[in-house]
Structure 1
């Protein structure tokens, strides 16, 4: 008995350290308390006699003033548990019918018989069925072996129980079990009679594991190694935005659910984690960055965010040294102001062509030759200067003669004179691919060949713009 008392005290200490849990979380239970043996149940033949004396503990119950039973059980699922009960008692009250007076009973002392029982118990709890967390009615069946003085026998058991839970894992339990013996006599010296055994004790559930100590057991904890909240199955919500960290793309910063818990500081519909400009609203196509100048280059990479420019030049306009609206990279005349239609080069006007031909008419050659007279060189230099103003334009140098002399000679002379002008221009800085020369001999007169003045007009060089 002394050992059972010590075990009871240890169990109480254990209960004080236990945390709350349901049966599925704390599958093990131990119940320690006292038991009472009542032999009147089988001695009474009438049902009303059996129940009228049921709670007459003083007259019929055998109790020892000590911890006298221990039950260890394990939850096995679906409200069922299986356990083993060991109990001890001392039989000093044995109820037997009085032979001389039918319907009456004697309570005798059979000699302080020792009572020992070892029983297997299958228990079914109705607590979930009735939806209670405090009141736990149950039914049980089982069997075991009972030692009654020198007698012993197997029994088939069944009964009812009731537990009041102070917390989810500490409760006060009561159980009454009918133990049916197959011995047919009621001689306690040789038989073990059928009898009732009542139990009252404290039940402690244990065995649940809560690694992170958040009050949610590991089997139900989606984050068993990190303390969390019950509404999130034991997972934390560090930033308090209502999204558990395990589902939160930004667990340390509060944000709405539509962005997986990430904030959108500038309110442009792009969460900060994906926003290249989280402080300034911008369209999705530019990863949340604005394009102030509307040139298709977002401000965060635009070297000239307030002036339109191509992406290839970092969002800045291409340089245009001559200011003609044609970027230097496309301007074939980057240092001379021109027109867009002429790729940045100036366009040759009719006035310019007239001016060129006015100079060309004053070109003088030595008679019958393609060599220049000395006073012609300033004229050639003036023509050269004009052509340099139009570096993207092409020109044709045409030679003409009067009708004096043979046609073949005149044709050859016109060709040579036109070529002489072209060669001079090339030698003085005009690209050769911009110039061509041709002679027409006496075939295209512009005046009469019957007068000296007319012949002089027909001997000429003309400059034509090649379009």
Structure 2
């Protein structure tokens, strides 16, 4: 075979071309290896050739076949369903149409001496299967051109093709194709060339080895899942790591992939009490008594109380209905109208004045006699029972002597009693003193008994 060296050279060239330009898109390259059959008969030419497509499948009489790998093609996917394929093929022509016996009318195969057939062709094809998303079954149509030699005669050809591929998997398939070759020179016959063989797609790059080619892999350097376009989901919660706020803890979509262990609607990353159901307003912590203070910060978690008292209810030690915080007398019961302090009753007022009237002074002086100390202590005890009440110490005299001296003496005696009370535990802010001299008698000054009653000290509730 004169053109065997050409065929071998073409094979090496096509293989080197494919290896040098692979791995830039998802399996963009395909290699075809198969056998071919050349049929010069059904091409619409006079005898020994015949009408178009006449006896198109008469392989026995018209097809020239070499039972060996005689076709090598390399294809490159261009895009949008289009591919370019370069093919080299080799054959031997011994059947050249049919001869008709003029007497009997019978047709016999026209045989010639074995002629070497060699062709190099280029073809642009369009995938109908890809356009219709047929998957494994991929019919296609193509157009192209080439150069064909029969022995030492060669000419260019215009080619049209139709074929079908069947892919067993993403890389391996079977291809059947027929090509009509119209020669530009009369000395080369028009002819059909049929081929069948296996195809191998390759050239896709998968850097991370996750089965998703880099072209379609949004995370080409990290193994991932097809459902996430090649990106990982480390915690397996159905949310890709890039969109997962907690990529290493399985969580919920509503919390951007973060878990909510206690199911309180607050994700663990924001939950100060992640294992105990709580309230969003309290960063996921519980409030057992509903007072708005998280149990962890509540000194009385089971009793509602104000924040100002650390979550505990305000006490009312004296049980008077006035809370200690508002009660000026927290240990003495009293009405709210008197800020929780006991009120000075008329009976108490009378008792104070009965005691006060018994206070004795040295004659004509403001000094208190020692025998009055007991009654003064009793007065102090009564006053201290009413810690918020204010009292006025009032001095009075009889009419003996001048009015001026009597007024002065009454003031001094009232002040003397007030000082005694202050020195013995009564707050100074609660006391005042005043003297009225002989102006407010409560009995007649004409009798000794009356004058004795008028010389007095009174302790009254101040307004």
Name the TM-score class by shorter chain: 0.7 to 0.9
| Match for residue 369 of structure 1 among 362, 365, 370 | 365
**Is residue 218–residue 224 contact of structure 1 (8 Å, CA) maintained in 2?**
yes
2:81 to 79, 82, 104: 79
Match 1:139 to one of 126, 138, 141: 141
Q: Identify if the C-alpha distance between structure 1 residues 367 and 126 changes in structure 2 by more than 3 Å, giving closer, same or farther.
A: same
Name 2:19's counterpart in structure 1.
Answer: none
Runs of 5+ in structure 1 lacking a partner? 12-23, 187-191
Q: Do residues 388 (structure 1) and 389 (structure 2) align?
A: no
Aligned to 1:431: 427
Q: CA deviation at 1:136?
A: 1.4
1:141: Cα distance to partner?
Answer: 0.7
Between Structure 1 and Structure 2, how many residues are aligned?
Answer: 446
Give the Cα–Cα distance (whole angstroms) in 2 for the partners of residues 105 and 115 of structure 1.
26
Contact 2:81 2:131 in 1 (8 A): no
Task: Say whether the 8 Å CA contact 2:125–2:141 is kept in structure 1.
Answer: yes
Q: How does 1:35-46 map to 2 (within 5 A)?
A: 35-42=36-43, 44-45=45-46
Residue aligning to 1:442: 438
Q: 1:464 to 1:255 in 2, by over 3 A?
A: same
Assess if the C-alpha contact under 8 Å between 2:92 and 2:114 holds in 1. no
Aligned to 2:461: 465
Note the C-alpha offset of 1:177. Answer: 1.2
Partners of 1:277 and 1:26 in 2: CA distance: 53
Root-mean-square deviation (CA, aligned residues, Å) is 3.9
Q: Quick one: distance in 2 between partners of 1:346 and 1:222?
A: 82
Aligned to 2:35: 34
Is 1:124–1:140's contact at 8 Å kept on the other side of the alignment?
yes
**In 1, Cα distance between equivalents of 2:456 and 2:218:** 103
**Pairing 1:185-196 to 2, within 5 Å after superposition:** 185-186=186-187, 192-196=188-192
Q: Secondary structure at the residue paired with 2:451?
A: helix
TM-score, structure 1 normalization: 0.80
Deviation track 1:162-207 (CA, whole Å, cap 9, x = no partner) reads 1122223321101111222211x23xxxxx3332222211112223
- 1:303 correspondence with 2:299: yes
> Pick from 394, 398, 406: which aligns with 1:402?
398
TM-score, length basis structure 2: 0.80
For residues 229 and 30 of structure 1, the distance between their equivalents in structure 2, rounded to whole angstroms, comes to 29
> Aligned to 1:351, which of 347, 351, 365?
347
Alignment check: 8 A CA contact 2:89 2:119 kept: yes
Q: Which runs of 5+ in 2 are unaligned?
A: 16-24
Q: Pick from 184, 190, 203 the counterpart of residue 199 of structure 2.
A: 203
Write the distance in 2 (CA, Å) between the matches of 1:294 and 1:182. Answer: 97
Q: CA deviation at 1:160?
A: 0.6
Question: 1:337-383, CA deviations, whole angstroms, 9 ceiling, x for partnerless residues?
Answer: 55555445444333332222111111122233222223222222222
Which residue number corresponds to residue 181 of structure 1? 183
Q: CA deviation at 1:272?
A: 5.1
Listed as ranges, the matches of 1:219-230 within 5 Å are 219-221=215-217, 224=220, 229-230=225-226
CA contact (8 A) 1:29 1:74 kept: yes
Distance change >3 Å, CA 351–CA 25, structure 1 → 2: farther
Shift of 1:105: 8.6
